[in-house]
Chain A
Amino acid sequence: MPRNSKDDTHTIAVLVENKFGVLAKVASLFSARGYNIDSLCVGVTQDPSVSRITLVTRGDEKVLEQIRKHLSKLIDTFKVMDMGESDSVEREMILIKISAPKAARPEIFQIIDVFRGRVVDVSTDTITVEVTGDEGKIHAILNLLQPFGIKEIARTGKVALTRGAKTLKGAKN
């Protein structure tokens, strides 16, 4: 699925050495070629010496091929995968701070409920909600909450795993 719908957006997972400077090299690779990163998510894997970078970028087949090859060429890289090439699950988490006067709260709670979001903070004027889902779901709840007044959002960027037993194994072992 992450061969994301309408446009030429791609979700790419990269396993790299978990050490300083590696992210700078990945970012440099994109900036040197004028490619944009829409979202970027980095975290350590079950092997503490390996980090997983999930990034979302755009480009036609030719650009994607170059991105894939250059990521593979980075000496810190163990493995690169375009998540769109196999069936995979993708999730993003978003925190949304909405202005929520008393009168509007029932309706807001209803929307949050439908989207299986969680209220994580409440103040006299605002509610902060946590929602996890794929791009479509995040987009939808943002649309619905828009009229109430979104004061601030924070998004994690996308993470993705292939479905089933298949894994993105690093060549490390």
Chain B
Amino acid sequence: MELNGSQILIEELKAAGIEMAFGIPGGAIMPFYDELMKSDFPHILTRHEQGAAHMADGYARVSGKVAIVVTTSGPGATNLITGLANAQMDSVPLIAITGQVATNMIGTDAFQEADMYGCSIPVTKFNWLIKDVNEIQHVTREAIRVATTGRPGPVLIDFPKDIQITKTEYTPRESAESPLPAIREYPELDTEGIDKLLEAIERAKRPVIIGGAGIIKSGASTELVKFAKAAGIPVINTLLGLGGFPGTDDLFLGMPGMHGTAYANFALCECDLLINLGARFDDRVTGKVSSFCPNATIAHVDIDDAEIDKRVHTHIPILGNVRDVLIALNERLTPRDYDEWRQTWTDWKENYPLQYDWDGSIKPQYVIDQIQEITEGNGIYVTGVGQHQMWAAQFIRFNEPKTWVTSGGLGTMGFGLPAAIGAKFARPEKDVWLIDGDGSFAMTLVELATAATYNVPVKVAILNNAYLGMVRQWQELFFEKRYSHSHYPENPDFAAIAEGYGVKGINVTDVNEVRNSLETAAEHDGPVVLNFLVNKEENVWPMVPAGAGNDEMQLAPPSREAKS
């Protein structure tokens, strides 16, 4: 049959089971949008292209499914850059389809022309500029394959306007041959590495597991629980690994690094075997590399060869899919326990718990605690970036994977609201809570209009301290309290703004109203914005200063009285 370029692309997406689009039309993508409508392809119209990218990102993180992001050429396309970079850093699959000026106009500085192929090279896993309608079938299949296999990531297809309407003969094919050889989807199981790791476990006296995003992405949670319990080894989850191991389990030590738990960092400093399962030794985790796990044999399982030995020297490198490796380990592991070591880290957990003091003001940690309580850890929790994000990571105890959506590597403020909307589209049966800061929230709050239009009942809790809180914290600690341009004294009335968008908005100023307001939000049939005016100068503790080793961690001032 004869189809035009747009129709072929849509046919290929549908054939691959892709059934969600986020985007905004414009001149150079109008023929494609025309076909989207004719084919009834589900599409969410956003208010900004960055929002569309973050929605697809949130959607993918909780569902494991890939969505497309559609924009016009030029500014519509360049607005995606942050969203692509964010997805690239956190290995999240999404497919961006950007309109481009007609092929005979490319390179002439045409109206709304931007070199998206060039712009997106560093922020995508791979990209294409379609120059011939006959490439579309192949390119679309490759795009889906590249985005979703191996270490996942965002891809971009730049789609010139004339090719969108050019017709060609189209034959749906069962499987398209691929000339692209380099995608190592599932490396062969490294049995030699697994042998070495099992021997190291035999020898170890103080082993620790650190589980990263690889646990979530490869679906290895069940295997991880089995492994950790049989081996009696405590588990640390990185920021992106949270949810990979049950937060309420005795073996769970929380998050490591800059704002990790004291006991996670103690364990890293004292361990003699570190088993890294799908984490990439980010600088926020390791602190100063030379004092990271100084006495440990380091094993690193990763699907991406380029991550192994990148920052931390690895004694036992295992290239592979984390889940496959864990299955192999579980088959051969002899159950054991490390009694003395267990006593040590159990004492640490007892003696150095996460805590915050209680002074009558609304403490941000308290709000998060209350959200945790009313959802019983069964919600989906989304954040922006900053102090609120760290508190959420510290205080929420996740019951299952893919219920935590946060911008890790890129640290993208403004990620929260659109990501929460995307998450809710993916898992409508789940309660989706966005824990955000006033700085982060203001960056993309225009997507409240999207939440209102489609009646997406996300619950937003703004922990509003009228500061760029993490910047303020660093200024307090490292710049002698010179609060250079980190203060928003004239913050808008976020509840009024929400109402303006047709979203229920509530300002909360009294600590005694926190619980009630959260319950009201939970029961409301629709999106809600709760604007909590929290303690302005609360800091995130513990903290490892930037560039310091994890052994230089500062605990919260011990004089403060703990509210347990």
Contacts and interface: CB of A to CB of B under 8 A. Distances in A.
Given A21-B117, A78-B181, A73 B126 contact: no
A132 B239 CA distance: 55
A94 to B, nearest CB: 31
Nearest to A31: B122
Interface stretch (A63-71, A112-120, A141-149, A153-161): A63-71
A130 interface: no
Given A24-B118, A28-B121, A75-B126, A66 B182 contact: no
A43 to B, nearest CB: 20
A78 B180 CA distance: 8
A69 B305 contact: yes
Contacts of B183: 75
Nearest to A77: B182
Nearest to B125: A75
B146 A75 contact: yes
B122 A28 contact: yes
A67 to B, nearest CB: 10
A171 B181 contact: yes
Contacts of A72: 182, 305
B548 interface: no
A172 interface: yes
B306 A70 contact: yes
Interface string B106-146: 00000000000110011001100100000000000000001
Interface in B193-231: none
Interface string A41-77: 0000000010000000000001001100110111111
Contact of B306 (A17, A73, A170): A73
A32 interface: yes
B499 interface: no
B310 A66 contact: yes
Given A24-B121, A62-B309, A65-B309, A74 B129 contact: no
- Interface residues on chain A, size class: 20 to 34
Nearest to B183: A75
Interface in A117-173: 170-172
Given A21-B129, A24-B118, A32-B122, A76 B182 contact: yes
A75 B310 contact: no
Nearest to A25: B121
B19 interface: no
B558 interface: no
Contacts of B310: 66
B17 interface: no
Contacts of B125: 75
Interface string B50-92: 0000000000000000000000000000000000000000000
Contacts of A17: 179-180
Nearest to B313: A62
B324 interface: no
A4 to B, nearest CB: 24
Contacts of A74: 182
A172 B121 CA distance: 23
Name which of A20, A32, A73, A170 has the most chain B CB atoms within 10 A of its CB.
A73
A21 B180 CA distance: 15
B357 interface: no
A149 to B, nearest CB: 41
A34 B122 CA distance: 13
B128 to A, nearest CB: 8
A42 B415 CA distance: 41
A32 B179 CA distance: 27
Contact of B304 (A62, A73, A77): A73
Nearest to A74: B182
Nearest to B309: A65
B336 to A, nearest CB: 34
Interface string B163-181: 0000000000000000111
A110 B133 CA distance: 60
A28 B118 CA distance: 9
Nearest to B151: A73
A99 B426 CA distance: 73
Contacts of B306: 66, 69-70, 73
A21 B310 CA distance: 27
Name which of B121, B122, B182 has the most chain A CB atoms within 10 A of its CB.
B182
Given A24-B118, A25-B121, A75 B129 contact: no
Interface of A: 17, 20-21, 24-25, 28, 32, 49, 62, 65-66, 69-70, 72-78, 170-172
18 contacts: A20-B129, A21-B129, A24-B117, A24-B118, A62-B309, A65-B309, A66-B306, A69-B305, A72-B305, A73-B182, A73-B304, A74-B182, A75-B180, A75-B182, A75-B183, A76-B180, A172-B179, A172-B181
Q: Which 7 A-B pairs have the closest CB atoms?
A: A69-B306, A171-B181, A28-B121, A75-B126, A75-B182, A77-B182, A69-B305
